[in-house]
């Protein structure tokens, strides 16, 4: 049974880079039929898709965040990562990682991690 777990700093200073990692257990990240995605939810707001990456390293991003986002994959560690640069208070949110099954949506999610942007 595949499980995902987010990790990273819970507090980031304004203008710095937010870095999170999602560790995949119970299965291989090197699957041609899956994408790996990041989603966030600011307090009191809805879900916002950040981006996705394939096991081959091909990534797609939300146009509203594209200039600041990088998603990468590390096969050797069975992990994928999110970097969001030049953060502001508006980037304060719960960040989730998820597995995307082609044609079937996001079927496995991490429990989420709260990131606060504050000095």
Least separation in angstroms between residue 48's CB and other proteins is 7
Q: How far is CA 46 from the centre of its chain?
A: 16
7 lies in the site for other proteins, by CB under 8 A: no
Helix (H, G, I), strand (E, B) or coil at 96: strand
Among 16, 21, 31, 49, binds other proteins (CB under 8 A): 49
Name the segment binding other proteins (CB under 8 A); options: 7-15, 25-33, 73-81, 104-112. Answer: 104-112
In our burial notation (b when 16+ CB lie closer than 10 A, e otherwise), range 84-110 reads: beebeeebbbbbbbbbbeeeeebebeb
Helix (H, G, I), strand (E, B) or coil at 76: helix
Among 63, 90, 118, 119, binds other proteins (CB under 8 A): 63
Least separation in angstroms between residue 13's CB and other proteins is 26
């Amino acid at each position: 049974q595949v499980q995902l777990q987010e990790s990273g700093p819970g507090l980031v200073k304004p203008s710095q880079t937010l870095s999170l990692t999602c560790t995949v257990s119970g299965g291989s990240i090197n699957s041609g039929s899956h994408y790996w995605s990041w989603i966030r939810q600011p307090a009191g707001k809805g879900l916002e898709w950040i981006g996705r990456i394939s096991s081959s390293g091909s990534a797609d991003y939300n146009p509203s965040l594209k200039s600041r986002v990088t998603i990468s994959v590390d096969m050797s560690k069975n992990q994928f990562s999110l970097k969001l640069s030049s953060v502001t208070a508006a980037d304060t949110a719960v960040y989730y990682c998820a597995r995307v099954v082609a044609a079937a949506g996001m079927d496995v999610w991490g429990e989420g991690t709260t990131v606060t942007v504050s000095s």
